[in-house]
Structure 1
Amino acid sequence: MCAFTGWTDAGDAASSAVGVMSRRLNAQRCATVDPELLYTMQSYRPHITIRDGIADDLEWPTVEVRTAVIPAASRDLILVSGPEPAMRWRSLSETIVETARSLGATFVVTLGGLLSDVPHTRPVPLTGIATDLELIAPVGAMLPDYEGPTGLTGVVHVEAARQGLPSVSLLAHVPHYVAGVPSPKATLALVEAVELLTTVPVPTKRLRDASERYEQQVTEAVDRDPERRELLQRLEQMADLREVIGDGEDDVEELTDEQPRLDLGELPSGDSIAHDFQRFLREQDPSDEG
């Protein structure tokens, strides 16, 4: 399981999903990559902790590997996460896949987040690719046609296929009008998709509560402005139409062409949403099955 903060992590959806699984499944760190091989420190500065005027700790950006042993499940999980590096993507991807194979992995799942014209009031759409479409069938993700830039997760996906390891890559669609805050709803969608793909259960009660608060807070912010509310309704119509006739149909394309760009500006509750979700992550107790 791979996710990296950065370009393909809209709403912190993917990195938070791996973080939730790591905490709730009590994953243990087993390896890290030397940060000087991957990062320019002007872009990813180390994090220092100072207490009473004394430097207490220094944390370097790194890609880390964690293992979650789950006796009650049919398989264990290997979790890879960290900031998307500035360099050596090819060698890092090769190392990640080779490490997964050496640990007995049977397939690779990469996660990401994508800013999109979707409403926060509807189920989170997922886009997926796979080395074998039967692998992704349980998730019901949209299958895209795309040619263009990719993130590190895309490189890992292709490298897994090159080394003969089945691979699935999932992207959660995050509303672009709340791009600046974490999306626990998108995180929940990715965690639930991973549960379907791996049959490994993940306790998600707290994440569900955070997702409900997120939707409520964004709705309250949008409802304060009639223009925002009207534009959001158009996005909801588009989402409902896609649900009925599928993406890519002429009616959806016409509605998209007519749709003015939804620009809600900076929602007043953004800081509150971010603080709420960060508090949720901090308060997680791996021993609490709720």
Structure 2
Amino acid sequence: MLDPQGIYEVDVEAVRRTLGSSQAEGADGPGPVLVHALSGFVDAGAAGELAVEHLLERFEVTRLATFDVDALLDYRSRRPVMTFDADRYVGYDDPFLVVDHLRDAEGTGFLLLHGVEPDLQWERVVAGVRGLVERFGVSLTIGLHGIPMGVPHTRPASLTAHGTREGLVDDYSSYFGRVQVPGSLAALLEHRLGQTEHDAMGVTVHVPHYLAQSRYVPAAVVALEHLEKATGLALSTEGLSEAAEAARVEVAELVSENDEVAAVVRRLEEQYDAFARSVGRTSLLAQDGELPTADELGAEFERFLAQRDDQ
């Protein structure tokens, strides 16, 4: 493996201003929390993306570390967006992967790793992040994202929490047994941090599968609320909660206007309620009958919205 420190640059002066002596491993008191949410992997409802947007808009941001994205992306498989205006190119959405320092509503500092998930050199990037975790004295690393599930929007949101040791997620129920899933850099980071005895965990919000492709604000609120629970940070979710309630109302209106979608939601409600009543059932994925797939139901939603726009 190439030197992990060669994959990023640290703004030493910014680190001194924001972290001071707390960056030293072994400093008095717990070190900062590192939150991460990367684009490119599954993020149903844009739960992690919306959470990051809220944090960046709400709190003071200082850039601490910048990764060499040009060495990490396969541009031909994931092409950045460029803007063409009449007779020339006028803009380019630069991909990035960075660590920022933020201060919450009470002035407590924390770190945020955000940007694109690398296509290449995962182990080197993970080793680099682990080096920053140790350099900055990070006390807990926690990831946020959403996954599509057969759950209705009308019931309390559920989630899967996972951690690198006992005690980190004892307050959460597990909805899955032993399964194999596609890998992600976020999952590999959590796994490797656990192997080196660093505390790390993740909050994975279960998003109704018929809303997985939308920007579903309630999913981000759930992610941030559980981030607060795990870390004690004050993340000012009040404004976002208002947007979440508006999103719920809009979805309810759309569902009420389409009998096929409403019927599926009722089936999901029955399944959810049966699971809630049954101690013996071990998975929210268990189904008593066939339900439409996410693609089928998403297509139905798209047809319905298109009809609505034409009226």
Do they superpose with TM above 0.5?
yes
Aligned residue for 1:260? 291
Matched, 1:222 2:255: yes
Aligned positions, number: 267
Give runs of aligned pairs for residues 7-156 of structure 1, distance below 5 A.
Answer: 7-48=41-82, 57-70=91-104, 72=106, 75-138=108-171, 140-142=172-174, 144-145=176-177, 146-156=179-189
Gaps of 5+ in 1: 272-290
- Aligned-partner Cα distance in 2 for 1:129–1:11: 20
**SS in structure 2 opposite 1:133?**
coil
Return 44-53 or 59-68, whichever deviates more: 44-53
Q: Where in structure 2 are there 5+ consecutive unaligned residues?
A: 1-34, 307-311
Supply the distance in 2 between the matched residues of 1:244 and 1:93 (Cα, whole angstroms). Answer: 41
Q: What is the TM-score with the length of structure 1 in the denominator?
A: 0.82
Q: Which has the larger radius of gyration?
A: 2
For 1:136, what is the secondary structure of its paired residue? coil
- Measured in 2, the distance between the counterparts of 1:11 and 1:247 equals 29
Q: Distance in 2 between matches of 1:143 and 1:104?
A: 33
Aligned match of 2:8: none
Alignment pair present for 1:196 and 2:229: yes
Output one character per residue of 1:116-140: Cα deviation in whole Å (capped at 9) or x when no partner. 10111122211111122322235x3
Shift of 1:44: 3.1
Q: Secondary structure at the match of 1:186?
A: helix
Distance 2:53 2:154 in 1: 24
Amino acid of the structure 2 residue aligned with 1:187: A
State the alpha-carbon separation in 1 of the partners of residues 255 and 183 from structure 2: 32
Q: Aligned pair 1:6/2:40, yes or no?
A: yes
Cα distance between partner residues in 2 of 1:248 and 1:150: 27
**Equivalents in 1 of 2:151, 2:160: separation in Å?**
13
- Is 123-132 or 63-72 further displaced after alignment? 63-72
Which of 209, 213, 231 matches 1:180?
213
Q: Deviations over 1:37-74 (max 9, x none)?
A: 1111223333445678665553321211111134835x
Moved over 4 A (4+): 49-57, 268-271
Structure 1 pair 17–60 and aligned structure 2 pair: CA distance change class (3 A): same
Distance, in Å, in 2 between the alignment partners of 1:141 and 1:53 is 57
Report the aligned-residue RMSD.
2.6
What displacement does 1:202 show?
0.8
Relative to 1, partners in 2 of residues 1:247 and 1:186: Cα closer, same or farther, differing over 3 Å?
A: farther
Q: Following the alignment from structure 1 to structure 2, what is the Cα–Cα distance between the partners of residues 47 and 192?
A: 32
Q: Deviation per CA, 1:253-281, whole angstroms, max 9, x where unpaired?
A: 8x71324226433425879xxxxxxxxxx
CA distance in 2, matches of 1:185, 1:149: 25
Alpha-carbon spacing, 1:25–1:154, altered in 2? closer, same or farther (3 Å): same
Gap change, CA 1:46 and 1:92, over 3 Å in 2: same
Q: How much identity, in percent, do the aligned residues show?
A: 24
**Alignment CA distance shift 1:103-1:247 (3 Å):** farther
Q: Is the 8 A contact 1:4 1:153 kept in 2?
A: yes
Question: CA contact under 8 A between 2:104 and 2:235: conserved in structure 1?
Answer: no
- Structure 1 counterpart of 2:20: none
Q: Is the 8 A contact 1:178 1:270 kept in 2?
A: no
Distance 1:126 1:163, change over 3 A: same
1:261 counterpart letter in structure 2: P
